[in-house]
């Protein structure tokens, strides 16, 4: 498939048109951003790592019954994906309290939650991706109806069950993650965007070491080494 003009550039990826209207190409970037892109960084090879990690995880999820936009990996940092009408909701699933949950509600850092918490954030840079409830999502017309919101929650929880057990076997704790969904040609909801250490938090089960973008957010160093370690555990 031929790569055509740039359709959209996000913080972590560029999306290109192809000569087939049903498919796009996602190119993963080496840039890192945090806190609404007020903090910027660059890590050579990060894009390739996220492309490989995302490809592995999309395949794992597909095998376990989650529909995704993933078609195939094309190169080190390029992925062929199905075109989808993106839903402007960031679905965050949390197993352990940290990050904005700790800040917003004062739940102690590292506390294991009694059940997986699913949250919706409105994907809107100008508004700084605010936390929203179901009614906000409907009023903003981000989702068609309540059934669609329930489907996002169901898929978020299901993805959590699959990934949590996969990473647990590899001595990594899946602390929380963010996923995004779109509607395919038939209107079916499919998992889109990426699943990588940019969008998940992983803690080493034995040492508690952070192996994700918090290393960049908190200036802990060794960002790429951490992403490489996550990939090593996925493919081992």
Query: What string of H, E and C letters represents the secondary structure of 122-157?
Result: ECCHHHCCCEECHHHHHHCCCCCCHHHHHHHHHHHH
Number of residues that bind ligand TMP (CB under 6 A): 11
164 binds ligand TMP (CB under 6 A): no
Residue placing its CB nearer to ligand TMP in the complex, 23 or 209: 209
- The residue range among 17-25, 76-84, 175-183, 218-226 that interacts with ligand TMP, by the rule CB under 6 A, is 175-183
* C-alpha to C-alpha distances, 30 to 50, 99, 100, nearest whole angstrom: 9, 23, 25
100 binds ligand TMP (CB under 6 A): yes
- The residue range among 38-46, 70-78, 99-107, 146-154 that interacts with ligand TMP, by the rule CB under 6 A, is 99-107
User: By CB neighbour count within 10 A (0-12 exposed, 13-18 middle, 19+ buried), where does 177 fall?
Assistant: buried
Q: Determine the number of helices (DSSP H) and then strands (DSSP E) in the chain.
A: 6, 14
Residue placing its CB nearer to ligand TMP in the complex, 52 or 98: 98
Nearest distance in Å: CB 167, ligand TMP:
13
Query: How far is 146 from 131, CA to CA, in rounded Å?
Result: 17
- The residue range among 41-49, 54-62, 155-163, 170-178 that interacts with ligand TMP, by the rule CB under 6 A, is 170-178
Bridge partner list, 72:
80
Among residues 28, 58, 167, 177, the one that binds ligand TMP under rule CB under 6 A = 177
Nearest distance in Å: CB 187, ligand TMP:
26
**DSSP three-state, residue 169:** coil
201 binds ligand TMP (CB under 6 A): yes
Half-sphere exposure of 4 (CA within 13 A, CB side): 9
Nearest distance in Å: CB 235, ligand TMP:
21
- The residue range among 46-54, 159-167, 173-181, 218-226 that interacts with ligand TMP, by the rule CB under 6 A, is 173-181
124 binds ligand TMP (CB under 6 A): no
Residue 196 DSSP one-character state: S
Among residues 18, 74, 99, 153, the one that binds ligand TMP under rule CB under 6 A = 99
Among residues 29, 178, 210, 224, the one that binds ligand TMP under rule CB under 6 A = 178
Among residues 52, 68, 95, 199, the one that binds ligand TMP under rule CB under 6 A = 199
Rounded (to 5) percent helix, strand, coil in the chain: 30, 35, 35
Q: Which residues contact 205 (CB under 8 A, 6 or more apart)?
A: 168, 171, 172, 173
Site residues for ligand TMP per CB under 6 A: 92, 99-101, 129, 176-178, 199-201
């Amino acid at each position: 498939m031929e790569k055509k003009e740039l359709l959209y550039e996000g913080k972590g990826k560029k999306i290109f048109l192809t000569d087939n209207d049903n498919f796009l190409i996602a190119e993963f970037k080496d840039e890192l951003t945090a806190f609404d892109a007020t903090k910027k960084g660059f890590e050579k090879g990060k894009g390739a790592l996220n492309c490989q990690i995302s490809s592995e995880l999309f395949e794992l999820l597909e095998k376990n019954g989650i529909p995704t936009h993933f078609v195939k990996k094309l190169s080190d940092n390029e992925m062929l994906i199905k075109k989808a009408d993106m839903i402007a909701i960031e679905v965050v699933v949390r197993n352990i309290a940290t990050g904005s949950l700790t800040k917003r509600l004062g739940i102690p850092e590292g506390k294991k939650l009694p059940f997986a918490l699913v949250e919706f954030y409105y994907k809107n840079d100008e508004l700084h991706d605010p936390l929203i409830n179901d009614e906000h999502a409907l009023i903003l017309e981000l989702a068609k109806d309540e059934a669609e919101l329930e489907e996002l929650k169901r898929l978020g929880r299901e993805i959590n069950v699959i990934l949590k057990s996969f990473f647990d076997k590899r001595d990594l704790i899946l602390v929380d993650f963010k996923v995004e969904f779109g509607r395919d040609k038939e209107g079916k909801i499919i998992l889109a965007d990426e699943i990588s250490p940019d969008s998940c938090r992983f803690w080493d089960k034995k040492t508690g070491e952070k192996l994700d973008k918090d290393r960049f957010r908190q200036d802990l160093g060794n960002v790429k080494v951490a992403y490489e370690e996550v990939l090593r555990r996925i493919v081992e």
